[in-house]
Amino acid sequence: MIARWRWLLHQMTKRLWFRASLFSVLGVATALLAVIFKDYIPASLPARIGADAVDKILGIIASSMLAVTTFSLSTMVTAYGAASSGVTPRATTLVMEDRTTQNALATFIGSFLFSLVGIIALSTGAYGAQGRVLLFAVTIVVVILIVYTLLRWIDHLSRLGRVGETIDRVEEATINAINNRVNRPYLGGAPYPADGIVPYSSRAITSPKTGYVQHIDVRALGAIAQEHRTQIYLDILPGTFVHEGMRLALVAILSNERIDELDACTQKILGALTIGVRRTFEHDPRFGLSVLSEIASRALSPAVNDPGTAIDVLSRGVRSLTCWSKPPEQMEQVDAGCERVFLHGLEVGDLFDDFFAPIARDGASLIEVDLRMMKALISLAQINPDMFKSACTRHITLLLTRAEHALTLAEDKARLRALARPLIHSNNLLI
């Protein structure tokens, strides 16, 4: 798992203000470059190029970019509202992190500041004749960049905040989280003892706040364990809800000489854990599956009545869970120096419960949803029988029980039972 400072930096770079600030500084710096490098321009060049037109061009950019930025911001807010009300509020975070939107807004704001600083510098005579030539050349480049960004932004607006586009983002985030967990099933640490037995002299570390675990810096914990000659047994994973006083980990001191360092060790361990107010997608595959399931449940509500979206989400769930059955890309799953940090792994049954249980509950009265879910479970059982068969059989049994009470036509019930019979009663999973 990545270091905490890198994770915090990554979170910061995904914020809108970061790109906007970066492009703004770049725009101001670009406008001032002409003042610095004006002496390198031949004195006869301004008369040939006609750089006096730069004043009008900068005025047009300044006035138009302010209007375009205001329009883009209002469109962005509308898209966020559409994603929140039409899909799920949990998916709004991914829409807000859209790079195309952030780059467009940052380009518009940076171009506005570039033109504004250029106009101010021109009015003070800081550029001179040679500086005008360089400013004119840079302005042409900025105009080309604005046109390219506008064309890309117009195309992107047709998809921003739409249901399908938002579901694509949730699916992509879920698959990325699953792939990362497949390669690092214990986040780079060692697996928790199978019997759950830890040293008797272990000391509990409790949570100082209430919230969700967002990140665990396993490498930092490994360094702490080596420095203080301890073993760290974590009871939490990213996505775990913790409250004040809840046990987060157990620390076992391997040397009696290190007992007096236990308090300092505890504070360092708490510093390697990030607890926030909401769950995140990066290291929490269960959250991504839960959000996909929530989208399907919202689509199945009487107010929306869109079983087609629920069926689409089921296919995406199959695609996401299929990644869980793939072999890891690397054989070494324990990072060097992290052998004394022990974590629990994710259970297949929990992943299936997060995704299938809410959809089965809300779509039990719709035969088309029941059939599609049955086919999805059968597909997963065929993809990896050793890993998925038990969970698939359990959820198929629950699905049949719910459908028996929710469906009204005997023919629909018979179709569902006939589809499930090969998986339940056959050992070779042939349909």
For 45, residues 6+ apart whose C-beta sits below 8 A from its C-beta are 130, 133
> How many CB atoms within 10 Å of residue 223?
16
What is the secondary structure of 119-182 as a DSSP string? HHHHHHT-SHHHHHHHHHHHHHHHHHHHHHHHHHHHHHHTTTT-HHHHHHHHHHHHHHHHHHHH
Residue-wise pLDDT for 260-288, tens only, equals 667 778 888 999 999 999 999 988 999 99
Q: Which of 225, 119, 145, 178 is nearest to 329 (CA)?
A: 178
In this predicted structure, the answer to whether residue 428 has a pLDDT above a threshold of 60 is no
Residue-wise pLDDT for 39-59, tens only, equals 666 655 554 555 567 778 888
Most confident of 30-39, 335-344, 357-366: 357-366
Residue-wise pLDDT for 387-412, tens only, equals 999 999 999 999 999 999 999 899 99
Residue-wise pLDDT for 134-164, tens only, equals 778 888 888 899 999 988 888 888 777 788 8
* Spatial separation of the C-alpha atoms in residues 345 and 99, rounded to whole Å: 32
* Spatial separation of the C-alpha atoms in residues 406 and 70, rounded to whole Å: 50
Q: Which of 430, 429, 391, 399 is nearest to 416 (CA)?
A: 399
Helix or strand or coil: residue 215?
Answer: strand
Signed CA dihedral, 422, 423, 424, 425: sign only = positive
* Spatial separation of the C-alpha atoms in residues 371 and 245, rounded to whole Å: 45
- Residue 243 is predicted with a pLDDT of 95
Contact assessment for residue 374 and residue 401, using Cβ atoms and an 8 Å cutoff: no
- Residue 430 is predicted with a pLDDT of 38
Contact assessment for residue 234 and residue 343, using Cβ atoms and an 8 Å cutoff: yes
In this predicted structure, the answer to whether residue 234 has a pLDDT above a threshold of 90 is yes
What is the secondary structure of 381-405 as a DSSP string? HHH-HHHHHHHHHHHHHHHHHHHHH
- 33 vs 205, more confident: 205
Question: Rounded to whole angstroms, what are the CA distances from 84 to 87, 104, 222, 291, 316?
Answer: 6, 22, 40, 12, 20
In this predicted structure, the answer to whether residue 429 has a pLDDT above a threshold of 60 is no
Signed CA dihedral, 121, 127, 129, 134: sign only = negative
pTM to 2 decimal places: 0.84
- Residue 431 is predicted with a pLDDT of 38
- Residue 134 is predicted with a pLDDT of 77
- Residue 427 is predicted with a pLDDT of 46
- In the chain, the percentage of residues whose pLDDT exceeds 70 is 89
Q: Which of 264, 266, 233 is nearest to 249 (CA)?
A: 233
- What mean pLDDT do residues 29-46 have? 65
Q: Indicate the average pLDDT of the chain.
A: 85
Strand pairing of 247-253 and 203-206?
antiparallel
* Spatial separation of the C-alpha atoms in residues 169 and 185, rounded to whole Å: 23
pLDDT-derived band at 312 (thresholds 50, 70, 90) equals very high
- Residue 248 is predicted with a pLDDT of 93
Alpha carbon of residue 122 to chain centroid? 45
* Spatial separation of the C-alpha atoms in residues 165 and 158, rounded to whole Å: 10
* Spatial separation of the C-alpha atoms in residues 47 and 51, rounded to whole Å: 8
Lowest mean pLDDT segment, chosen from 102-106, 346-350, 365-369, 422-426 = 422-426
> Six-digit token pair at 72?
């883009």
Helix or strand or coil: residue 43?
Answer: coil
Question: Phi-psi region for residue 213, left (φ > 0), alpha (ψ -120 to 50) or beta?
Answer: beta
